[in-house]
Structure 1
Amino acid sequence: MANLYIHYPFCKQACHYCNFHFSTGAKGRDQMMELIEEELQMRASELKSPLESIYFGGGSPSLISTERITSFISKVTNQFDTVEGIEITLEVNPDDVDEDYLRRLKLAGINRLSLGIQSFSEKDLRLMHRAHDRKEAENALKAVKKHFENFSLDLIYGMPDSSIADWEESLSHALSYDPPHISAYALTVEEKTVLHHLVNKDKVTLLPEETVKEQYDLLVALLEQKKYINYEFSSFGKPNFFSVNNQNYWNGKAYLGLGPSAHSFDGQAKRSWNISNNHLYASGVQTRKLDREIEQLNTKDRYNEYIMTALRKQEGVSLAHIKNVFGKTHAAYLEEQVSRHLAIRNLFWDGDHLKIVREAKFLTDGIAADLFLI
């Protein structure tokens, strides 16, 4: 199965923590979806199996007109094979939401929304330079809940100057709306962002890692109480509401990324990404000479990537999969490398699946790195 990702590289304003490729200018906005449709035609042969999901990300894809969204979805579903009940997700900002807009999205074919709440704290929202406030977030949530059965909330923990109680209040408020899915991410300081500048100038002080871990542990505990399943490190869903797009990404399935800076993966060993420049992207599409980087993964890269992604998932690392795909030598290497983490009870075997204990989940990336081939 395959997945389609659309990167719409425009935003109303720049969030202080974001290092994704985007522009706050208006130039090229109207033309961008035409270019993305043209890129799809250029790369149609890369979609070799039925589509399971279409995901509009960015940027702020809620700036795309519903007419454009309707046209794009119609062209994709008419031209390519899709599974029954294909998941079609649009990322939306709370300040773009009203009931008429939501009705038009449903008519366009969108059947899942990812709502970028990030926080219910006014202090956090100001620091992040989000375009919405708490009241707009609440109103957007009420409207989305009225019109969409399947939606997700994005939240950020580890905010500067936030206490455990602050995070618990924001998280509990989110849970009061009973969303079917929540994605929660630790704040990261990326280079060339306003937040990076503020931290370097000592105008913002980051939380100690132990406090961030406590906030993550609280997240896991509270959502577990509310019967959410932590099916991937940052993803929590009610039964039947796991994100198809998320699962396919973490399961190493093929995806085709369209738009400036969009990444693609063939499901085997080839990864590619488009140039992160709107003008050069447009020129490449128009001349049919798309500017993109291509990386061929070797066996070590593929093994390490499997360890990293599998350990983040509920199912864990499959020893049988490693034997079948990489061979007995790699399986023996893994069994040797895990001994220390088994001894200190960070990891455990569930049959032939290696899993991480709940108390060590926050350390997942570091533990995975200890198991890499080097």
Structure 2
Amino acid sequence: MAGLYIHIPFCHKACPYCDFYFLTNQKWKAPFIEALEGEIHDRAEELEIPIESIYFGGGTPSMLVPEEMARILECIEGHFGRSNEIELTIEANPEDLSEKNLESWKQCGINRLSIGVQTLNEEKLKGLGRNHKVQDSIEGLERAQRLGFGNISVDLIFATGDEKDLDSELDDYLRLDVQHISAYGLTVEEGTPLARLVGKGRKTLVEDDEYRRQFLLIHEKLESAGFGHYEISNYAKDGFESRHNSSYWNRKAYLGLGPSAHSYRNNSRRWNESNLPNYCKQIQFEEEALSARDQFNEAIMTGLRQKRGVDLAELSERFPAATKSMIEQSEGFIQDNLMEKNDNFLRLSLEGMLMSDHICSELFWIDED
């Protein structure tokens, strides 16, 4: 089965570290929804139905009022249908977790929340430029749990340079009693306010050793608390791994709708233009067919992000020569305890996860046969 991603391109304000496409001007909401309904209609034949997962990302999907969310989901239902066990996720800001919103989402069939907590430290939260307070996260989560949401993910940003006591902050996260935690090291994306601050010397990020210490501490604390480290940046209680995101990492077909949204099917990628006014007039997009080399390299990159690693039997069947070369190249990393190979799977060790970009680039298929 396939997944559906809906990009909602609106935010209350710009966060200094974010490079996703969004606008703060909500005058475009009505024309956006109309254009989105048109894209749903025009592209309904591109996926197998019923779909297995729907993910509302952004942007800030929780900025949609209940009637707007219900309208979009009704349109999706009419064109795609849903499996009985669908995972339906909405990304939400803590300040949007009102009882009215939560109840309406539940009535619409939303059964998974991905909440942008980011940190439970007030000073660190201010440094990240977020709109909410720590108490908003705590109260919003309690409200969601009281209303019956039992599949909740929260975000944690680490390595910001403002960590005073990450160990205690992780204890606070565990007291939230959620099922999934996504832990991302702060990265500097080109063109963001954060990049400009770093470039001017007004913001300093942590050194590699401190990044490593925080990454390993998060792993130790969360695994000890019963969270499986199933992907480099993601931890879940058993059975609560993100099915939608896992479909990306396992290269299943998915359809991305909305400005800047990406799609993948039949070894082909498509991405919509990152321009909402143009999207509302006529959807512009680009598309590329992936070469054998591209397919192999994506299998390496996405496979090594996961705890299970790369399935060597499957890869060898599709790309025998490239797989043989890659296995030979991996021997050095295995000897350095950065990779492991067993049960016909090749995976990163915990230390290897800290060097994933470098290791992947060394294992890529560089030249076409």
Secondary structure of 1:27's aligned partner: helix
Instruction: Confirm or deny that 1:300 pairs with 2:293.
Output: yes
Selected match of 1:269 from 253, 267, 273: 267
Q: CA deviation at 1:49?
A: 4.0
Q: Which residue of 1 aligns with 2:306?
A: 313
Report the count of equivalent residues: 365
The amino acid of 2:314's aligned partner reads H
Q: Which residue of 2 aligns with 1:38?
A: 38
> Unaligned stretches of 5+ in structure 2?
none
TM-score scaled to structure 2, two decimals? 0.96
Q: Distance in 1 between matches of 2:125 and 2:70?
A: 32
Q: Which residue of 2 aligns with 1:155?
A: 156
Q: Distance in 2 between matches of 1:27 and 1:275?
A: 19
The amino acid of 2:311's aligned partner reads S
Secondary structure of 1:367's aligned partner: helix
Query: In percent, how many aligned pairs have the same letter?
Result: 40
Q: Distance in 2 between matches of 1:111 and 1:159?
A: 31
Q: Deviations over 1:99-125 (max 9, x none)?
A: 222111101111111000001111221
Q: CA deviation at 1:51?
A: 0.6
Q: Which residue of 2 aligns with 1:333?
A: 325
Secondary structure of 1:197's aligned partner: helix
Q: Is the 8 A contact 2:65 2:101 kept in 1?
A: no
Q: Distance in 2 between matches of 1:366 and 1:258?
A: 32
Selected match of 1:281 from 276, 279, 288: 279
Q: Which residue of 2 aligns with 1:55?
A: 55
Q: Distance in 1 between matches of 2:361 and 2:174?
A: 33
Q: Which residue of 1 aligns with 2:211?
A: 212
Q: Is the 8 A contact 1:70 1:109 kept in 2?
A: no
Q: CA deviation at 1:368?
A: 1.6
Q: Which residue of 2 aligns with 1:287?
A: none
Instruction: Confirm or deny that 1:18 pairs with 2:18.
Output: yes
The amino acid of 1:283's aligned partner reads K
The amino acid of 1:318's aligned partner reads D
Secondary structure of 1:264's aligned partner: strand
Selected match of 1:324 from 317, 324, 333: 317
Q: CA deviation at 1:48?
A: 2.8
Q: Distance in 2 between matches of 1:219 and 1:249?
A: 24
Q: CA deviation at 1:160?
A: 1.9
Q: CA deviation at 1:159?
A: 0.6
Instruction: Confirm or deny that 1:247 pairs with 2:246.
Output: yes
Q: Distance in 1 between matches of 2:281 and 2:100?
A: 36
Q: Which residue of 2 aligns with 1:343?
A: 335
Q: Deviations over 1:271-312 (max 9, x none)?
A: 11111111111111xxxxx21111221111111110011011
Q: CA deviation at 1:133?
A: 1.1
Secondary structure of 2:178's aligned partner: coil
The amino acid of 1:16's aligned partner reads P
Q: Which residue of 1 aligns with 2:130?
A: 130
Q: Deviations over 1:239-273 (max 9, x none)?
A: 1111111111110011111111111111x321111
Q: Which residue of 1 aligns with 2:235?
A: 236
The amino acid of 1:30's aligned partner reads A
Q: Which residue of 2 aligns with 1:197?
A: 196
The amino acid of 1:299's aligned partner reads A
The amino acid of 2:24's aligned partner reads T
Secondary structure of 1:338's aligned partner: helix
Q: Is the 8 A contact 1:161 1:205 kept in 2?
A: no
TM-score scaled to structure 1, two decimals? 0.95
Q: Which residue of 1 aligns with 2:365?
A: 373
Q: CA deviation at 1:359?
A: 3.1
Q: Is the 8 A contact 2:312 2:344 kept in 1?
A: yes
Q: Distance in 2 between matches of 1:103 and 1:196?
A: 39
Q: CA deviation at 1:81?
A: 4.0
Q: Is the 8 A contact 2:40 2:79 kept in 1?
A: no
Q: Distance in 1 between matches of 2:77 and 2:39?
A: 16
> Unaligned stretches of 5+ in structure 1?
285-289
Q: Deviations over 1:123-154 (max 9, x none)?
A: 22112110101111111121122220011001
